[in-house]
Structures are given as C-alpha cells and as structure tokens.
Amino acid sequence: MTSDQLISRLTDIEWEDFEVKEARSEVPKNAWETVSAFSNTAGGWLVFGVKKTGKQYEIVGVKNPEKIEQDFTNTLRGDKFNVKIVPECKMYDFPEGAVLAFYIPLSDKKPVYYNTQANTFIRTASGDQKATKEEIDAMYRDQAFGTRTTQGVAGTSISDIHEPSYERYREYLSRFNPSHPYNRLNKEEFLQKLRIRLPEDGTLTYGGLLTLGTESAIQKAIPGFRADYLEIPGTSYTDATTRYTYRIDEQENLWEYFFAIFERLRRHLDLPFKLTQEGFASEDYPQLGALREALVNMLMHSDYFSAACPRVRVFDDRIEFFNPGALPKPLKKLLEEDISMPRNPIVAKFFRVVRLAENAGYGFDKMINGWKAYTGTDPEFDQGQDYTKVTFFFKSQAGTKPAPSRHQAGTKLALSWDQAGTKLGLSITEIRQLLEFCREVQTIQGIMSLMNWSDRTKFRNKYINPMLEHGFLAMTEPDKPKSPNQKYHTTEKGIQLLAE
C-alpha cells in the first residue's frame, strides 16, 4: 500500500512526519535514532509493525505488542536518553496483526541523544541523519532561547552607546509614535525601559549593544558581528557574471543596518513615486511592508552567537532573507497560531516600540498577504535545524514560472539524469542522495557521513568540486571557499534536476 493508504487505515493520527519499522518481535535498535531525530527536529510518529519496501508499505504486525510497547516506553523514560521522553501511544488491530504507533514530541531541551552525544540525530528529507557539531552547538544555544541577549555584558556602560544611532532612534520614535510615554524620558530612563541598559549595575545587555551599541563594543562582545546584504546578477551564483554587484558596508549596529538594507530593498520594487526612507507608505504598498517585516523579522530572530550571520541576497528573480537560528516551534504551528516567542526579546521590543514590526507573533500574515497582493504568489518559508529562510519571488512574466534572468535567456537549464551522471562522473543514486540531503544547508562532514567517506580531500575532489563546478551545489560563503564555517546547499539547478 502507499503512504496515503496506510494513513487512511490509521485514521485518528494527524500525520506530519512518520517512520515505520517492522519490529516484529522486539524494538529495533535503529528506533533510537528516529526518537532522537524527531525530538530534535519537529516531532513525529514512529510506527511498529509496518514494513516499507521502496515507496510501498505492508502491515506485518508485531508479536506480543504489550511487551514491545512497555519495553519501548520504559526505555524512553529510563536512562538511555539524556532527557525523559513521554510519547503518545496507540495500538491498532488489523487482520495482518497489531500495529503500534508512538508520537515523539519535539523536545524543549535539545539536543536529545542516547548513550552519548555522538548519537544526536536530526530529521531531513532523506531520513535520520547524525547532527553535525555546528547543529549540536546551535541546539545548546537554543536552550537559552529568549534569554541570552537579555543578559548584561561585563565591562560595558552607557559610553558604549553609539550617540548618532541613539539620537536617530529617539527622533524616529517622536515622529512615528509621538504619544508613546517613552518620549518623555531622559536618556538613562529611556535606555532602562528598553532594557538596553540594566539599572542594577549600569551595564548594557547583549540586545542593547546589538541595537544601539558602537561597532567596536559589539565586536568585543560578539566577535564577527555583521548583517550582510548582496545583489547578485543572476538567479544563482553559478549563472552570475560576477559574485555580486553590490555588497553593503559594515554598519555600527542593527538600527543602522536596518536603514542601510531597507534603502537598497526599496530600489527593487516597482513603486510609482519615491517614498520616505522610513517606508511608512506600506499601507498603500503592501509589498514594501512585506519586505520591511521580513527584514525586521530577520534582525529580531537571528542567533547572533552563531558563526553565520543574518543575510539578504537579491537575485534577478527573488529576494532571500536568511537568519541563523531555528524557530522555537515548527513553522506550521507558528503559521497557524498567534505565538510570540522572540529569540531576542530586547531587539523585538526595540523595533516594535517604533512600529517597525508587528506587536505579536512573527509577522507571517503581513509578509504573505503583502507579497501576494503584489505578485499573486506566496513567499516561501524554509526552516532548517539551525537556520530560517524566507524567499520572495518577483512578479512572473511568463505564467506561473519566474521570468528567466538576462543571463538565462535562451538557455536550457534542466539536464536529464543521464546527462548529469555523465558530466559529474557519478551514479544517479549518488547524485540524487546528495542533492536531496543538501536541500537543507549541510557541512562537508555531514555530507561525508551520509556517503560513508572518511578521506576529505578525495571526497571533495570526487563529489563536492564537480557539483559546485556544474552548479548543482553552492557554498554558503562563496567569498571564502576555505572558511571553516563553509556549508553547502542544493541550487535551483539541482532542485530542477530532482524534479525531472
């Protein structure tokens, strides 16, 4: 039977992600990998008593289901895992035998692993995968979700505030939210109300530094701090005539980055007259409001302690907003419910006080409705283990497909699998496995683990370099190909091939 047919037989389960195991007589050892992966990613159903062959499912049943259920749940509540896991359990009786289904919830104490931290798994399109060191580090940072940037930074003081930014913020507040009571406060009171400065000892918080601090003070507390913005002349790095035609200069803080990036974004919209830099014509031009919400959302919810940085990339056919750091809950739940859980609450309040962001939630409605009114299409949301990406496609000029860039005109992009295999010198299975895995950003260590390789140089020469050369993979840091933080992801060309 197909997965839909299996789901139709287990009628009272809401299926989002599931994994089946035969488990005829005992709990299979690889079940623990799936438990870890579901706990660390977005939750899911683990089903015992079903055999999968290719894309087909067969109910085979489990022997002694009561014992298997007890063994499984006792293990999850015992010492095998680093945290206690309480699954939802269901049992079904079919003519073929009993089927057990266990819902493993997303944990709020990640990483979840069994025996040792080396057994930390995440869920990807290709199944359960061992988490990389970077992904595990991100999980530990997420344990302090919403609290890290509220802490004070030792050795800082009000002298580390960038005075021009502070004055600009006060002036902006008085113009666009004149009735707000903060307008009547003096400087020290104002900074304390925003939690930029702590009243207990006068130090600045991480959030305060990020929003209004000097670049030197921020770099001292958060080395490598930067928000990036690039304009690429093509639909990918591979078809671009140059790496980029514009890259934003480094700014003092997030307040300055907002204006510098927003000014460039405005140039890419077809607006009938020049708006103010503040962009407060968003009610008349919802597409501008959508991009402004996405920009502020990126700055508010980035993990600034990650090795990656928040980044906007403008291609010929789209605008991408990327921020390091996963969302606190699965994207579907955040889209369905009004949940307000900012990673950086001080940064969030900073932008909300001046009415540059929604007062609750993540602003998804504003992004979706505003952009759809302009283009007729929804933005795309992509949530990974340690990143979030929102993509806005420009108006289609040829039906439902994005208009080809000037670099693509008259060029056939898609290759057949046989052609790709010939060009790359790889089997179709290898190419498909690698491209599916890299739909989410991956490190070379993670890709090597997937392909069961240990020699990095040989692996790079056989797999990575050909995939980069022919445009199926791209680097997250193309300007620094040897960066220790380098990661890889499947390009549009690679996704086209997967769709063949």
Region of poorest pLDDT, from 239-243, 295-299, 447-451: 239-243
pLDDT of amino acid 461:
85
Cβ atoms of 379 and 290 closer than 8 Å: yes
Can you name the residues that pair with 104 across neighbouring β-strands? 44
Does 5 or 12 have the greater pLDDT score? 5
Q: How far apart are CA 317 and CA 393, in angstroms?
A: 6
Percentage helix, strand, coil for the chain under 3-state DSSP, each rounded to 5? 40, 20, 45
State yes or no: pLDDT of 273 exceeds 60: no
Mean pLDDT of the chain: 83
Region of poorest pLDDT, from 169-183, 277-291, 310-324: 277-291
Radius of gyration of the chain (CA): 25
Does 340 or 268 have the greater pLDDT score? 268
Domain definitions of the chain by residue range = 3-131, 417-498
- Looking at the domain covering 417-498, what would its CATH class be? mainly alpha
Does 250 or 406 have the greater pLDDT score? 250
Kindly report the pTM of this predicted structure: 0.58
Q: Which of 60-74, 381-395, 445-459 has the highest mean pLDDT?
A: 60-74
Name the residue type at position 231.
Answer: E
- 3-131: which CATH number, 3.40.50.150, 3.30.950.30, 3.40.50.2300, 2.70.98.90? 3.30.950.30
State yes or no: pLDDT of 6 exceeds 70: no
State yes or no: pLDDT of 399 exceeds 50: no
State yes or no: pLDDT of 436 exceeds 70: yes
Who's near 11: CB < 8 A, 6+ residues apart?
Answer: none
State yes or no: pLDDT of 195 exceeds 70: yes
pLDDT of amino acid 414:
46
State yes or no: pLDDT of 35 exceeds 90: yes
State yes or no: pLDDT of 211 exceeds 70: yes
pLDDT of amino acid 329:
65
Token reading at 455: 């020699």
State yes or no: pLDDT of 407 exceeds 60: no
Q: Which of 102-106, 212-216, 289-293, 483-487 has the highest mean pLDDT?
A: 212-216
Q: How far apart are CA 471 and CA 411, in angstroms?
A: 14
pLDDT band at 404 (very low <50, low <70, confident <90, very high): very low
Pairing of strands 44-48, 18-21: parallel
pLDDT of amino acid 416:
60
pLDDT of amino acid 452:
76
- Percentage of the chain beyond pLDDT 90 is 40
Does 134 or 73 have the greater pLDDT score? 73
